[in-house]
Amino acid sequence: MMIDSAFFDSLNPAQHRKCYNFIRSRASANDAILTSGDERLKALPHHQRIALHDMLKHEAAFLEEFAPTVVDLVKTPGSTRHEIATTLQTHYPLLSKSFYLDRADVLWDLALRLMVHYGRIRTFQTTDALEQMLMETDFGGDVPAAWFRLPFEEIFIEFGEHRGFPITINDSESGEHIIEGAYVMSGLSLGKPGKPLVRGFDLIIFGSPVGKRTALDDCFIHMGLPINDEEKPISDVVQDVVDFYASQGDFPNKHAFRPVVEHVAKVLVYLGTKDARQHQVAEGSEARRRINALKSPAKREKAQRQAARLYDRIVVGPAELPEDLAGGDGCGSGGVRPHVRRGHFRAQAYGPQHSLRRPVWIQPTLVGKDRISGEVAHPAYVIQ
């Protein structure tokens, strides 16, 4: 990391030392990650990998000293990555140029790291069972974009307990990456020309470093999702965005947009159903409490290494597939091989004169299962 002379000249001796301490500590943390032989670290979600060896803690402490206005903005609910990046550029131009090359993409990455560090991002992890069921589910044409809503302003959705999402993205240097999940952030977006701002989302889709050289060997793609028409079917809104990015001359990994955005939408609709299964996992918080109670530096260091793989999240979905979908590999005695009938989300009429609409999930089901083990009930989950 190079320090621009103008920035360095603006510091007093005490700040010089703090600046150099940050550079050394960050470099040390980065080296520790790059040289780690622990394959399990690669399977962590992005927000955990970038926090390994206190990398985020060091950077946040540095910016609290040299860019306090930026940190205050990060801590302000509703502030966006664009606003955070712009504030650093305008209030601390020498710092922006020296440490972050004064590049918008680098500053947006910084903003995301700070949002992670200061607890802005809530993590949802789908179960492998829910992943499989949603892969076998489609959106009906009557499911409106109005139902694409987040439970919190900024979330990260981790696709499954293991890296099994069927779509990959590619990086020119590191090759093919399994998609591990996506950040989804609420905000306002430019809609149609001449129209007011509309509800929109910032999506950052991350490719996992599983199978790569180091835990930092990942990749990502970014896209915006404006909701220009709340009543338009979700599937059509997604297609509009896909078509827009497809029209851009040089935009890699376009193939991933539709399956990823549709999958995110399915998770969000599922979260809104009254029977959605979700439970809080507080492994990270519990580990930190245990570590803080330790007196021995050696024991604390060992515990911190072990705790690196633990993080808080909300686990969403059933632990296992429904009985009718599990173990359906055999053939029925009547000669009809059991097969999965795809599920779907659709709008259900209810209320006075059936004038209102709410989403209902018709789960995927195994047709022909009764030939093997008898009839099975198929529940539907409804958003209230």
Return the pLDDT at 323: 79
Residues 105 and 247: their CA atoms lie apart, in Å, by 21
The helix/strand/coil state of 282 is strand
Q: Are 173 and 201 in contact (CB under 8 A)?
A: no
Q: Is 252 left (phi over 0), alpha (psi -120 to 50) or beta?
A: beta
Burial class (CB in 10 A: 0-12, 13-18, 19+), 254: middle
Which tokens in the block code for residue 256? 């991933």
Interacting residues of 138 by C-beta distance below 8 A, sequence separation 6+: 342, 343, 344, 345
Length of the chain in terms of residues written? 384
Q: Are 265 and 148 in contact (CB under 8 A)?
A: yes
Interacting residues of 216 by C-beta distance below 8 A, sequence separation 6+: 30, 33, 34, 49, 50, 209
Other beta carbons within 10 angstroms of residue 143's beta carbon come to 23
Return the pLDDT at 140: 83
Which tokens in the block code for residue 101? 């090359």
Q: Are 1 and 27 in contact (CB under 8 A)?
A: yes
The helix/strand/coil state of 217 is coil
Return the pLDDT at 3: 54
Which tokens in the block code for residue 249? 């001359």
Residues 221 and 254: their CA atoms lie apart, in Å, by 9
11-60 pLDDT tens trace:
999 998 999 999 899 899 989 988 887 889 999 999 999 999 999 999 99
Residues of the chain predicted below pLDDT 50: 1, 330-335, 369-384
Residues 69 and 57: their CA atoms lie apart, in Å, by 17
Return the pLDDT at 12: 92
Q: Is 198 left (phi over 0), alpha (psi -120 to 50) or beta?
A: beta
Return the pLDDT at 275: 77
What's the sign of the alpha-carbon dihedral 29, 30, 35, 37? Answer: positive
Residue 161, CB-side half-sphere exposure with 13 Å CA sphere: 13
Residue entry with tokens 């009429």:
349
